[in-house]
């Protein structure tokens, strides 16, 4: 039994999940769809960029952009002159919002089957449908910008100069609530048809890895400033 | 001086580039926009998934999907029952096509500035606007499916069982021409304001790296089948 709250989160057996909606039940691959809140948060928190989709003059536009998460709300930001941010409007009382789809994907492995047809990738993705709104409350805007910086490097917002009034005025922030949310996950090896198992082709998974190289200090870094612990622990 | 051809490719000084259009000149960050054909191909060929945007019931949808490239044409595929593929229609004489935006992004580094405002990422992205069409020609469909497999692992389509008639019938392929195309690239260190250079915060770049771990053979792999050279050279 599950109990739906106003947030769209359902709780059952101590695990929370997003309530499936018409928008978040896929037409294909339903067995890979997941609505678990912890899984969704983990996928969102691990990526650096999302792909933000919106409609302009009836046609789709998909742009990569940074984002941050505070609880059940995501934030994206940009110049006040950028397209999606202008389109969302900025007068709260008249703000129609901007219909968006925000997608985050990790590619974890290449899946090689004996048959071309069953080639695949192992991946984890989250797709969020909703209406993005301009953040006009100064407190929320500051917290959102901190979240955007800390999303790139946890702990960094406290170790950099905060935005001043001019920078805040030049930056627009959009919020998107985590309500119509779904994850999709594929793991494991290839799913060859039984009659193909004897074919003389190698089959298996090439696991992909991510990491980072040595830090590159800015050429004008003040001598004596060492890399902070939160970077060494990355 | 540049000469525009029918393909939308312009040639000047022996380098080819895509002709900028209203759709591909960004409102912001024009200095980061690029139209060079070789750069676009390199960005497309290095990634595993794209993010495909389309409009359904007036709202944007963004889904991660595999793709392949043959010259100046991209292909995506899916089950004949999947949403974007059904929406594109399948009767060539009546095919209205599907308005799409296909975006590919690499995140190359985290850019840490003294000021929160100037934090950024180094990235390379390609955004393609256009109308996707169902591929109905059997020869083109086979070549497209080979390109999709070879995009994941170059050389692999020749070393796997080709699709049979049933699999071909179950698979829909969409094509998208590279015409309204732009790339965006950011490289280098942070761009702090001069008055911030003396602040006591570390500044520089965390370069991100990609690789792969040891191959994981399928648990039912026929003994004696070694990993092929094209995997060892990955």
Does A149 sit within 8 Å of B116, measured CB to CB? Answer: yes
| Nearest chain A residue (CA) to B113 | A160
Does A189 sit within 8 Å of B121, measured CB to CB? Answer: no
Does A66 sit within 8 Å of B53, measured CB to CB? Answer: no
Does B199 sit within 8 Å of A161, measured CB to CB? Answer: yes
Mutation site for A-interface testing, chosen from B47, B84, B98, B116 by largest number of A Cβ within 10 Å = B116
Q: Which helix (H) or strand (E) covers residue B59, if one does? A: strand B59-66
Mean pLDDT value of segment A144-165: 96
What does the alpha-carbon distance between residue A117 and residue B145 come to, in Å, rounded to a whole number? Answer: 9
A47 vs A234: which has the higher pLDDT: A47
Q: Tell me, rounded to whole angstroms, the distance of Cα A32 from its chain centroid.
A: 18
Q: Which of A130, A129, A116, A58 is nearest to B66 (CA)?
A: A116
Mutation site for B-interface testing, chosen from A30, A47, A54, A60 by largest number of B Cβ within 10 Å = A60
Of B59, B81, B198, the CB nearest to A129: B59
Mean pLDDT value of segment A218-225: 95
Tell me the nearest-neighbour CA distance from A87 into chain B, angstroms.
13
Confidence at residue B6, expressed as pLDDT on a 0 to 100 scale: 46
Beta bridge partners of A17: A10, A36
What does the alpha-carbon distance between residue A153 and residue A43 come to, in Å, rounded to a whole number? Answer: 16
Set of chain A residues whose Cβ sits within 8 Å of the Cβ of B208: 48, 210-213
Q: Which of B91, B148, B45, B61 is nearest to A52 (CA)?
A: B61
Q: Which of B178, B78, B180, B185 is nearest to A61 (CA)?
A: B180
Q: Which of B166, B54, B98, B75 is nearest to A101 (CA)?
A: B54
Of A55, A64, A160, the CB nearest to B60: A55
Does A105 sit within 8 Å of B201, measured CB to CB? Answer: no
Q: What is the pLDDT of residues A169-208, one digit of tens each?
A: 999 999 999 999 999 999 999 999 999 999 999 999 999 9
Placement of tokens 């209205």 in the chain: B96
Residue B7 half-sphere exposure toward CB, CA atoms < 13 A: 13
Q: What is the pLDDT of residues A91-129, one digit of tens each?
A: 555 668 999 999 999 999 999 999 999 999 999 999 999
CA distances from B138 to B79, B85, B148, B163, B171 (A): 16, 17, 15, 12, 12
Q: Which of B176, B43, B30 is nearest to A60 (CA)?
A: B176
Q: What is the pLDDT of residues B156-196, one digit of tens each?
A: 999 999 999 999 999 999 999 999 999 999 999 999 999 99
Q: How confident is the model at residue B1 (pLDDT cuts 50, 70, 90)?
A: very low
B211 vs B15: which has the higher pLDDT: B211
Set of chain A residues whose Cβ sits within 8 Å of the Cβ of B160: 112-116, 119, 201
Q: What is the mean pLDDT of chain B?
A: 90
Mean pLDDT value of segment B152-158: 95
């Amino acid at each position: 039994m599950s109990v739906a709250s106003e947030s769209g989160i359902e709780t059952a057996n101590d695990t929370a999940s997003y309530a499936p909606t018409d928008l978040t039940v896929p037409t294909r691959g339903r067995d890979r769809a997941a609505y678990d809140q912890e899984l969704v948060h983990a996928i969102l928190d691990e990526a650096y960029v999302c792909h933000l989709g919106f409609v302009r003059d009836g046609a789709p536009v998909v742009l990569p952009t940074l984002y941050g998460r505070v609880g059940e709300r995501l934030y994206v930001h940009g110049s006040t002159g950028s397209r999606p941010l202008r389109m969302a409007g900025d007068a709260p009382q008249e703000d129609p919002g901007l219909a968006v789809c925000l997608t985050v994907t990790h590619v974890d492995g290449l899946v090689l089957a004996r048959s071309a047809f069953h080639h695949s990738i192992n991946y984890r993705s989250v797709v969020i449908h909703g209406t993005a709104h301009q953040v006009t409350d100064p407190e929320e805007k500051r917290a959102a910008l901190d979240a955007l910086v800390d999303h790139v490097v946890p702990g960094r917002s406290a170790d950099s100069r905060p935005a001043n009034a001019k920078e805040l005025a030049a930056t627009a922030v959009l919020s998107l609530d985590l309500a119509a949310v779904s994850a999709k996950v594929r793991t494991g090896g290839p799913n060859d048809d039984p009659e193909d198992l004897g074919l003389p082709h190698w089959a298996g998974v090439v696991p992909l890895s991510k990491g980072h190289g040595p830090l590159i200090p800015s050429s004008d870094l003040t001598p004596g400033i060492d890399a902070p612990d939160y970077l060494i622990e990355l």
